[in-house]
Chains A and B, each alone.
Chain A
């Protein structure tokens, strides 16, 4: 089986990648500014709704219903889409999905496709696969365009260029954007205008558009894309052929269910009451919009994830990014350190499951990239208990290890000590010998692995007498 491109080949394990990212002063500044702003705005947007908790529970319940009857909902969707003149394709993995899209683009006579921002196509590495097949993919979402022109990688689900500030964006445009004005400044208005002029030429010439999907309604076969810039609407209406790649978990049963998600998603992601553009299409309409519509339904590890009773809750995700914006780890390391198109807390539970390979060192490091502070669970609009799944996946990582390392030995030894209060008390007495390595009332340096603590933090001096020894002496 080909390697799943959901993680980027060559990225080191999280602690190593994070260490490097943490030294990037500009990145730290950009991230702090961006996440602090959006956190504040999200809190206001959510605080406005007295029934926010009810909405979250409704979102959770609808997604759970879909996931527990996914097979029948998918068949219903296929029937509805087909009945309205669309063509449904099934892709087991990234390679199959890429092959389908490339074949369809070529059949439509396109050597260039315009793209709407989409996580599913990023997950399968579609742009690279199209390029290899002689078709150029043009990202039309402003942030995705910045990433693409900068030959960069996305670092956030919603705002993939969050790690860039405007002066960096100006440099990228000047260097890489054909026809960018020579006197371009870093004024947001000018930058947007340059991108607009560049993209307009592409919209008007492209024969094929590729999109993802935020939701698909099983009952009617309607597909929904929500966006802010209007580029998506251009892609969805101008080209003759539209190819949508959608993860199989993106379904909702009926139109009524959309009501819940169209409240949850914008408030959680962009902190807006309503997103600027909501596009919904159902099959094809003669004489109006694309005359050929293909829906590629993507598995790529989702069925395997669904089989895990605890881990499957990650499939409720609606890609809003609220968990990234509130995560203290993400805020400091940025998305690049996660080595995947899905960074942050949701990435730490989704990527390892989609990868289906916990022996890969980088993948196995992701569930540990969290202090389990729980801010992500509080912010999640579909109530994914991310800390619980992180811990669950940590257990799977430990079980997947082929041989017991020093950590497993230490953990077992410690558990053996802790199982018996007498052994524990003896260990405390031995530990109080640590008093003799203390200097000036603190322990400042310990050998590895204690150095992992003492490199940046002192340890308190162990007391002469543990609490239990004091209790036994005074009360026992």
Chain B
């Protein structure tokens, strides 16, 4: 991947606080994938968290410095790629108002992973190999806030060995909703129960999505019931190749 003057695209990874802390394999996979596609990837170490949890729980004042930090840290890259629809939605939909800098380059250059692959790099076949039965859950923010539509599905369809099964009621929420999962734990769990039922009817080995948070929720329920169905982030599936296949790390 080259820019007009022939230099490689300089991509910054915003790993998200969740993947950075709890799901490092997702962030590593994103780096591997982007480098395989010819990007020069940087991880600016001054990054922390997008502030979505604070903002969505009503703590706007606490979210603002985190948003300001983001726009500062990512101001000088060709693109910022986030392996999360939800954090991308926060940056794109909320930051213009929250930071008071609607024209910020960092905001304009921010992409969710599947958007970046399909819209910017123009690829739907990333050369991946993942010999498993997989079902895809479109997360609410990627689906409705960003409108990524069929992009993740098109990427998955082109993965060698992958048996893609349609998830019934795919577009209904898994019940995560950030602090909603704690403040309204019972309702959240009722929603999760129905999502798990749908996942289980597909007989998939792996449930994938573009957000570590929703996967942590769905995966947490599937693990509690010892279903054996694994949550695997879209980035990890796309990074997996015949030479360097995906492996469960825990």
Which residues of chain A have a CB within 8 Å of any CB of chain B?
Answer: 14-15, 18-19, 22, 328-329, 332-333, 367-375, 377-378, 391, 394-399, 407-408, 411-412, 414-415, 418-421, 424, 428, 431, 441-442, 444, 449, 452-453, 455-463, 465-468, 470-472, 475-476
Contacts and interface: CB of A to CB of B under 8 A. Distances in A.
B57 A394 contact: yes
Interface stretch (B102-110, B140-148, B153-161, B202-210): B140-148
B177 to A, nearest CB: 3
Interface residues of B, number: 67
B28 A467 contact: yes
Given A375-B173, A419-B65, A424-B48, A453 B22 contact: no
Given A415-B54, A444-B224, A475-B43, A372 B184 contact: no
A461 to B, nearest CB: 6
B185 A453 contact: yes
Interface stretch (B118-126, B215-223, B237-245): B215-223
Interface stretch (B2-10, B12-20, B74-82, B128-136): B12-20
A456 B27 contact: no
Given A328-B172, A368-B183, A476-B45, A378 B144 contact: yes
Contact of B177 (A373, A428, A459): A373
Given A368-B183, A419-B66, A457-B221, A466 B20 contact: yes
A242 to B, nearest CB: 42
19 contacts: A329-B184, A371-B191, A378-B144, A397-B58, A398-B58, A398-B59, A418-B49, A419-B48, A419-B65, A421-B46, A421-B47, A442-B223, A444-B224, A452-B181, A455-B189, A457-B189, A458-B223, A460-B250, A468-B43
Given A452-B182, A457-B217, A411 B177 contact: no
Contact of B66 (A373, A415, A468, A472): A415
B186 A428 contact: no
B165 interface: no
Given A375-B144, A411-B54, A19 B59 contact: no
A415 B65 contact: yes
A329 B187 contact: yes
Contacts of A459: 216, 220
Contacts of B144: 373-375, 377-378
Nearest to B179: A368
B55 to A, nearest CB: 7
Contact of A419 (B23, B45, B69, B182): B69
Interface of B: 15, 17, 19-25, 27-28, 43, 45-49, 51, 53-60, 62-63, 65-66, 69, 140-141, 143-145, 171-173, 175-192, 194, 216-217, 219-221, 223-224, 249-250
Contacts of B20: 428, 466-468
Given A374-B141, A419-B48, A465-B24, A456 B192 contact: yes
A18 B186 CA distance: 8
Given A463-B250, A468-B15, 20 more contacts: A369-B184, A371-B140, A373-B172, A408-B59, A411-B54, A419-B65, A419-B66, A421-B47, A442-B223, A449-B182, A452-B181, A456-B221, A457-B189, A458-B224, A461-B250, A462-B21, A463-B25, A468-B45, A470-B28, A471-B45
Contacts of B192: 456-457
Given A391-B58, A418-B17, A418-B66, A453 B181 contact: yes
Contacts of A14: 184
Contacts of B223: 442, 457-458
Given A19-B186, A411-B59, A460-B250, A467 B27 contact: yes
Contacts of A449: 182
A466 B23 CA distance: 8
Contacts of A19: 186-187
B22 A460 contact: yes
Nearest to A425: B45
B49 A370 contact: no
Contacts of B49: 418, 424
Contacts of A408: 59
Contacts of B141: 374
A429 to B, nearest CB: 10
Contacts of B185: 15, 452-453, 455-456
